[in-house]
Structure 1
């Protein structure tokens, strides 16, 4: 795992010193794995609001946990998660266990809010290595257990391809070849649907989607000290493919065509190809059942496979007084049966290989594309300044893509803004 250095200036609510002091870093969070009866005990879990399927699955998990342990579980749902949970930590009212997004893990860890977990107690060997690594510190402490994961893959609207008279087999395997192929595909789409009604592909101006491109050939968009390095020539060269795609007039953002996100743009029949996470799979099946689609691997770029990986883990608050019960919850939620119930109820991907097999996700050709991407996808995580740098990136990338600035100028401006914000905080 790539380690990180502590950098002041996360763009978040509280300073490290405040959180460390609030956590009370000397609490004993060791726990026994032998205790099974927790009758009369209570546990608070911190989560953000999910969709209907997630809410139902979490409530069912709580019920089964209460039946198995005799404990009661209080669910604390945050509407502004990162801000509110940090305020609770400062006030010593943080939940006993709580969601830890992989991209936020470095901040929570470095500010002393997470208790160390014994890998042996949580069957860490059953999890995909890259996910366990994402929640392990540079000195080898496991501090959260991944409850699920998501990766990006390509979705193809087969009806649009058929109407345009183009076979999916004609789609290039490399992103570089897309630049040459897209104009002719868009021309055939225009012939079938009229100009400006349907587009060949969508893209996003979020570094969370583009980070795997930025880092090709070992380029470093973020320095080891946490400062922005987007204007580095290697990073600019990697990201310039986005400008080339936009210049084909065949690649648009969902907002360009009056929709809120990829799933809506694709589901409304306005996009032939999108790269999206597996969370869109059930949305398409339930909300847009008339849209036929298949899922394929992301195109290679600069000779290598690539995608993005996102994960959320369960972490234990270092100040909890319910350490043993907290461990039991994490074991329950991330154990084989608990995770299988979760992924089957929510449509998320498991972070354990044995659950992928048990839930028969490997037998679903579409979802298995997402699953297999774990081996080469780039985790959305890099130190404590990632969010600050992403905001600057999103502010200036449009200027590079619309021609108002060169790519170099736009990334230099993004670096300047991000590093000023990092220094100020």
Structure 2
């Protein structure tokens, strides 16, 4: 609860400027707080006169048993669903089946009902449709308000969000508003057979250990998953979803920011996530010049060049080529790791590749533990032989 001590207030407006919810007005000469207040305490920290007291908000009490179902945030941009949505539906289907519950996709936007059939074909049993002209373009305030309102009304047990730019923005805000936990960048999800809680696994301590995190006392259980980590759901046009139009309140006064202009970058990015073949180099490549060999092999195979974090940090290649926990998570048909030892951070980003080929002169390198095929030798000798053989075919 936030309280203004009127005799101390000088009406300076410092609190009004800091309020993220637009809940404070000093027009009368004294700070007044409306029912839009979210209890964050930013105003109290900003007040130079200590005229505002903010008690720490407590999580509302609710029975865990009241929360049912697995939800996926169906992120769309310009009326096109993001690929990560289909991956989350695939994983969400497994979780929902283990819980014997419904898999739902929550879809926000304007005139996006045409996407409901696609969500159903990828496994959603229900599409919770939230349409408004105010939701046409992504806005943190608008999306957060609508999703929080619908979650408080429907009470899902699990909410999965893609770790995209939008997902990384909306996830923490939802978590704070809903007084629940959020496990970011999960690499594995499962259901505890005894408690029926969500087991959320992700690298921790710099990627040196894998931690499994639970949310035992709060709901929904929230996780973000990076694109490419989970397997995409199978497409079945015969599977239809129930389209459920959600009731919610959203006014223009709820939104305090607006998009003036959207500029799409023309920069050509390295598309590692969708690549069919990736040839990655590590510190063992030795230099930026050495990466020309990696690039040549990738070109012969019709693939894309990747790299380990150590190679990027050494300045051999740009960060947009980085594969791993702090780079891109990939799932190509063929992944060739040359001069990469196999640190857990790197393995977390590529271990789900269909076929892994490792080239390393150290026979004890951890990369051989996940490789389908291993070549123990100097990459500077092995790769030229591979290129020559491929060119002769």
TM-score, normalised via structure 2 length:
0.33
Larger radius of gyration: 2
Per residue, is there more strand in 1 or in 2?
Answer: 2
Higher normalized contact order (CA 8 Å, seq sep 6+, divided by chain length): 1
